[in-house]
Structure 1
């Protein structure tokens, strides 16, 4: 089998889709079924997997300026996919996989990963220009794809029902946490704890993009309802890239930091993230909607109890390991967080069950099921 794998999303800051693409590509490089593997990086085929540079700028300044010009943006969005197609078609008889929704025109044996449908089902969680662009491109990808991949059975059913798309042409390839996420002792996290001003086991953690879909306002409201003694001893630590619509949330971060119960770390480097997970007392994830919910799996792999919403795919991922609430239930989240901190019997059970549940997922399995989908083409 020949494969061309799109690698544009493997870049700084490495978001959930970028991490998925990086982990999957790493597995595919050693898969015996694949004879040749090229990466579509921009409009060029390259032989080596791009490495995200965490020291680089989020976006080059020139590109940022050009992006604001509607004429240039429209011309770019029309021409660029055709340049990609031209590059892909240099690899004759190859399967082309886009891990990030978008497929260029006139490519044979094309398969795309649709992670979720929030751009259609939760439009209030996205800016208008993103909705307009992504809806158009995703509908084109549906027409161009020979098959689709998605990352949970929830998303598979939702895609089929929403678009009336044949269910037997969608394959589920669940995500996994990397081998870096596992329980660690206080001595193993000591250097990071000292560097960021935290204590092992003495904070609750949220990780993810700071944006409306993650329902962080509900988390902040719930945390403020906790007794001051809990907030003093277990501050809420949040980390993640500042996304769209997060200005008011960041103002609340500043107020909470001034009051002493919030610590916002911004984007955390990939080598520090597993240590930050392992040092947490409890992981909190109130998201309104997830195609999978990789952070909750990373938390369970790290031996850290989870409190999360019961929305979308999350019950599928956590099984019976977590305390779950309706996404907008502020009181429910507040009570669950307090129990997760104070109920040591539940905590021990949640840790054991979480580690067992996390072992059901692996990147090797994700790659095997992905290659099985390629073979169906």
Structure 2
């Protein structure tokens, strides 16, 4: 059976989020799948000819002039009729939780339930969007995709739906994340005043469920010789309720054992991973947890929280910790930094587990879901 697909691409923008990355990887691959006859791209009421244009920052040039805005406003009824007709003859996939009214019977991807579990970490506008449209999208959907089996079970239970209507399709690290020689990464690291194997890394939004506060407490408890040899680098956006954590990092920065790097350019991030002596991800709630997979693919030993889907996704390759037990967390971090036997095994296991995941596999298994619905 040949499939005609509409893929929503509203998450595509110059600085890709995790969902944006997922949407982009599907957008690149679906048109080339044997079972797929055609793919159209849809974004907030518009048809997009080339989704790659959404990745370019066009600044003020993106704005429509007055005539274009007037024509769009006054032709909305005609466009709605046209769009509904197109959607009825195609399978709509909303990779960012939602289906439009014309996407009845389509597929949505629910990456996690943090909007319901941790509403304080989301802006008010997003909470309102979910209140208005999420349940409607679930009711319209013919099938739901999640990023892992743990989230699949959680979503089926939360929504009180038949688990057979939910399928786990795992994400993957980009091929840019792979082991690299010290010579290959040294020039980039030098711009951050870093040396290969001379620091630990955490890539995460700074917000309560990520447990960065507990990580900082544990790092401060490390023996001075250990934490000074391997200062902690934290990179990622500043989320809600992060002021106290930011203040703690500023204090630790003055003392020399932690640095907050903020956002790191996409071109630099794989090299920053590859140069780390250890990657730490203490988040207690994830829908997949892509950063630990990126670290494993880079050949870096990984420590994650023994929570949510992280044990499943890391597949036995990572050291599991309870971030709230700060004393034990600190002991495990010291082991992960100095135990050469564990580190060698963690690198080998991590590369093996990360190799299970690929964006080609993700696209292939996504098309299998489409076939179930059609």
The separation in 2 between residues aligned to 1:85 and 1:284, in whole angstroms, is: 50
1:163 maps to 2:165: no
Match of 1:358 among 354, 357, 363: 354
* Corresponding residue of 1:367: 363
The separation in 2 between residues aligned to 1:239 and 1:56, in whole angstroms, is: 26
What is the alpha-carbon root mean square deviation over aligned residues? Answer: 2.4
Residue 137 (structure 1) shift: 2.4
Secondary structure (helix, strand or coil) at the match of 2:343 reads helix
Report 1:190-339 matches (<5 A).
190-339=186-335
* Corresponding residue of 1:71: none
Residue 3 (structure 1) shift: 1.1
* Corresponding residue of 1:23: 25
* Corresponding residue of 1:342: 338
Greater shift, 107-116 or 134-143, is seen at 134-143
- Specify the structure having the higher radius of gyration (Cα): 2
TM-score by length of 2: 0.89
Unpaired runs of at least 5, structure 2:
64-75
* Corresponding residue of 1:39: 41
Secondary structure (helix, strand or coil) at the match of 2:100 reads coil
Residue 109 (structure 1) shift: 3.5
Greater shift, 196-205 or 209-218, is seen at 209-218
The separation in 1 between residues aligned to 2:279 and 2:80, in whole angstroms, is: 40
CA change 1:52–1:226 in 2 (3 A) is farther
Asked whether the 8 Å contact 2:120–2:240 carries over to 1, the reply is no
Report 1:95-110 matches (<5 A).
95-110=91-106
Asked whether the 8 Å contact 1:7–1:50 carries over to 2, the reply is no
The count of corresponding residues between Structure 1 and Structure 2 is: 358
Report 1:3-82 matches (<5 A).
3-51=5-53, 53=55
Residue 14 (structure 1) shift: 1.6
The separation in 1 between residues aligned to 2:89 and 2:123, in whole angstroms, is: 38
Residue 47 (structure 1) shift: 2.4
Greater shift, 352-361 or 324-333, is seen at 324-333
* Corresponding residue of 2:69: none
Secondary structure (helix, strand or coil) at the match of 1:141 reads helix
